[in-house]
């Protein structure tokens, strides 16, 4: 049981899940380190590892010093000498070894805790020189950590439980980018918490999509926590509890068990048709970013991919992916769906994704407001080669199964006409057999107001409720300062969705929802009654919505089609 004080707090948004684990702070560019509770009798081995790492770090410094001495400058040598002294200082290495024994934890974890403790003392000093030594502590400690992380640890067979799988690691930081979260997920991280972020920010959307429990907008948590603290992340209620009491810990363990049992009850809806109680079909599809996410699709039985965000392919490439690379990625997803429909969104990049913007345009974003700037189809139409390459790759991939291409950030009929004309030329030029299907993403109020005109030249509509709410209410969905103003239930949002549904029905084209409202059960009945063709959501939400849909009855809210 920790002797540190208990505290708790709320977050702005969450990705579902409950995790009880140990804290590891990731701040100021720090890389994650392994944190393990040791098996009985293993502490001496860890201390030996630490001592060996210190010797290796000193040897590394000496080698660097020898090489730099040839340059004739004394300044770098003085820096290395300072780091060497710090590495050998008993306050760092020896006290870290004491922590290994006292707390029964691995050497990396103990060293990080000791580094933080020394830096905290320096930070409180009135002496500017001592405050400046915090950087030396970090650099010296990192030398030792690098050696520890590079060692090949030999773990005896009887220490198999030392990593304490019942209490995994929860990463906590100021903010994590989308690529950070994806990398953490692929490495098997249990959960994450960030201080920054608002409801429906891109990073929390991705966390939900890949099933990673997360809290964002947990303001002030970094001041409360220390590495090694026990933390409860409650993604069901947007709560976190630091150093809980034994009673709280036990209560949450029972809660986790109850949630698990509840989710097991959803298994009855796996591979079942998505229909209302009276037999009205409304397809439930998945929003995805990566092919690996479709592993779950085979278990739950999705009705298709309602939104593939193509920018994540670009995010994983150092350079702009060429046509063949894009084709292989798109084709793999379509083949994997075995005949079920796949909707792929054209590259949706703006100044809010600075690295992708530069990759696409070879220049930095210069606008003052990226949300209202050059993004989506606006950017693609100014980058014809980028647009043509992506369209060709998607159209080629569409020969492997039903493909629908979604155009983001549409505000006018002319934008859709330009894309359709180019797509038709490419489709005919490649002599493709599968029919062309191009639709408009309705996520800007202007698109709703000209929906009748857009419907005449669109094969389908897809409502992106996240941006539609943001643009209509002038509330940045990633800004926790205005999170309370981001209100899906606002009458204006309901009216815009109704107007879009009416325009689609009049034109006889399918309409779907791919924003977060698609996974909100409070909207399921309304979407059913508005004759939605499909709802697309994070994979983890499909079975709960399918169960909820099965209890609803269809009561048409639109006038009959002419």
Question: How confident is residue 379, by pLDDT bands cut at 50, 70 and 90?
Answer: very high
Q: What stretches of 69-127 show up as alpha helix (H) in DSSP?
A: 75-88, 93-103, 107-123
pLDDT surpasses 50 at 530 = yes
Question: How confident is residue 267, by pLDDT bands cut at 50, 70 and 90?
Answer: confident
Task: Kindly report, residue by residue over 504-526, the tens digit of the pLDDT.
Answer: 999 999 999 998 899 999 999 99
Q: For domain 7-31+163-264, give its CATH number from 1.10.569.10, 3.50.30.10, 3.40.50.300, 3.40.50.720.
A: 3.50.30.10
Q: Name the residue with higher pLDDT: 274 or 175.
A: 274
Listed by start position, the domains of the chain span 7-31+163-264, 43-159, 278-549
- Strand segments (E) across 327-392: 342-345
The CATH architecture that domain 278-549 belongs to is Alpha-Beta Barrel (3.20)
Most confident option among 235-239, 317-321, 452-456: 452-456
Single pTM value for the model: 0.68
Question: How confident is residue 263, by pLDDT bands cut at 50, 70 and 90?
Answer: confident
Predicted confidence at residue 280, as pLDDT, reads 97
CA distance 144 to 343: 49
Question: What percentage of the chain reaches a pLDDT higher than 70?
Answer: 88
Question: What percentage of the chain reaches a pLDDT higher than 90?
Answer: 52
Task: Tell me the chain's radius of gyration from C-alpha atoms.
Answer: 27
Predicted confidence at residue 153, as pLDDT, reads 36
Q: Name the residue with higher pLDDT: 70 or 150.
A: 150
Query: Rounded mean pLDDT of the chain?
Result: 86
CA distance 375 to 367: 11
Task: Compute how many other C-beta atoms are within 10 angstroms of the C-beta atom of residue 336.
Answer: 17
Crossing angle of helices 107-123 and 43-68, in 10° steps, is 60
Q: Would you mind telling me the total number of residues written for the chain in this entry?
A: 562
Predicted confidence at residue 163, as pLDDT, reads 40
Question: How confident is residue 79, by pLDDT bands cut at 50, 70 and 90?
Answer: low
Mean pLDDT in residue range 66-73: 59
Question: Hey, which residues are catalytic here?
Answer: 202, 514
Two structure tokens written together for 7: 């505290």
Two structure tokens written together for 158: 């009887």
pLDDT surpasses 90 at 336 = yes
CA distance 530 to 226: 50
Question: How confident is residue 110, by pLDDT bands cut at 50, 70 and 90?
Answer: very high
pLDDT surpasses 60 at 540 = yes
Q: What stretches of 407-541 show up as alpha helix (H) in DSSP?
A: 413-429, 445-449, 451-455, 465-473, 491-507, 521-529
Sheet with 239-242: list strands edge to edge. 7-10, 239-242, 230-234, 18-25, 169-173, 191-194, 214-216, 13-15
The CATH architecture that domain 43-159 belongs to is Orthogonal Bundle (1.10)
Mean pLDDT in residue range 356-362: 73
Predicted confidence at residue 458, as pLDDT, reads 98
Task: Kindly report, residue by residue over 138-166, the tens digit of the pLDDT.
Answer: 778 888 988 888 753 333 333 333 344 46
**Contact by Cβ (8 Å): 361, 325:** no
Predicted confidence at residue 67, as pLDDT, reads 60
Task: Kindly report, residue by residue over 384-438, the tens digit of the pLDDT.
Answer: 999 999 999 999 999 999 999 999 999 999 999 999 999 999 999 999 999 999 9
């Amino acid at each position: 049981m920790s002797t540190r004080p208990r505290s708790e707090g709320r977050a702005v948004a969450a990705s579902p899940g409950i995790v009880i684990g140990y804290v590891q702070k990731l701040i100021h560019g720090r890389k994650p380190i392994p944190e393990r509770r040791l098996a009985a009798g293993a502490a001496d081995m860890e201390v030996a590892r630490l001592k060996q790492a210190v010797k290796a770090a000193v040897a590394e410094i000496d080698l660097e010093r020898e090489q730099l001495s040839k340059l004739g400058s004394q300044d770098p040598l003085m820096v290395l000498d300072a780091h060497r002294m710090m590495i050998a200082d008993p306050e760092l290495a020896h006290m870290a070894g004491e922590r290994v024994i006292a707390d029964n934890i691995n050497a990396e974890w103990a060293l990080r805790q000791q580094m933080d403790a020394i830096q905290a003392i320096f930070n409180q000093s009135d002496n500017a020189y001592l405050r400046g030594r915090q950087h030396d502590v970090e650099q010296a400690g990192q030398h030792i950590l690098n050696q520890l992380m590079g060692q090949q640890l030999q773990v005896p067979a009887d220490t198999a439980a030392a990593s304490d799988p019942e209490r995994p690691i929860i990463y906590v930081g100021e903010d994590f980018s989308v690529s950070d979260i994806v990398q953490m997920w692929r490495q098997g991280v249990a959960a994450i918490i960030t201080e920054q972020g608002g409801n429906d920010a891109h990073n929390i959307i991705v966390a939900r999509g890949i099933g990673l429990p997360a809290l964002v907008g947990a303001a002030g948590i970094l001041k409360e926590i220390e590495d090694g603290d026990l933390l409860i992340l409650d993604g069901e209620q947007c709560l976190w509890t630091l150093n809980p009491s034994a009673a709280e810990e036990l209560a949450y363990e029972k809660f986790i068990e109850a949630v698990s049992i509840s989710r097991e009850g959803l298994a009855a809806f796996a591979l079942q048709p998505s229909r209302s109680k009276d037999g009205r079909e409304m397809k439930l599809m998945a929003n995805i970013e990566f092919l690996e996410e479709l592993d779950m699709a085979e278990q739950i039985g999705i009705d298709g991919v309602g939104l593939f965000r193509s920018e994540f392919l670009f995010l994983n490439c150092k350079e702009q992916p060429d046509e063949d690379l894009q084709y292989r990625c798109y084709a793999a997803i379509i083949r994997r769906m075995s005949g079920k429909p796949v909707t792929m969104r054209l590259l949706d990049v703006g100044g809010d994704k600075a690295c992708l913007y530069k990759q696409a345009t070879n220049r930095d974003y210069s606008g003052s407001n990226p949300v209202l700037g050059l993004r989506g189809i606006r950017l693609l139409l100014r980058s014809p080669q980028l647009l043509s390459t992506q369209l060709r790759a998607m159209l080629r991939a569409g020969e492997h199964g039903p493909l629908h291409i979604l155009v983001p950030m549409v505000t006018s009929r002319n934008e859709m006409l330009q894309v359709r004309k180019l797509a038709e030329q490419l489709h005919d030029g490649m002599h493709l057999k599968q029919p062309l299907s191009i639709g408009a993403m309705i996520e800007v109020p202007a698109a709703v107001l000209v929906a009748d005109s857009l419907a005449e030249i669109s094969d389908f509509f897809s409502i992106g409720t996240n941006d539609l709410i943001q643009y209509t209410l002038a509330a940045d969905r990633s800004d926790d300062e205005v999170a309370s103003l981001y209100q899906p239930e606002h009458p204006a949002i309901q009216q815009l969705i109704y107007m879009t549904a009416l325009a689609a029905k009049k034109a006889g084209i399918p309409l779907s929802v791919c924003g977060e409202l698609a996974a909100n059960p409070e909207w399921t009945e309304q979407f059913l009654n508005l004759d939605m063709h499909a709802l697309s959501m994070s994979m983890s939400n499909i079975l709960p919505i399918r169960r909820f849909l099965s209890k609803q009855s269809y009561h048409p809210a639109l006038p009959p089609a002419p």
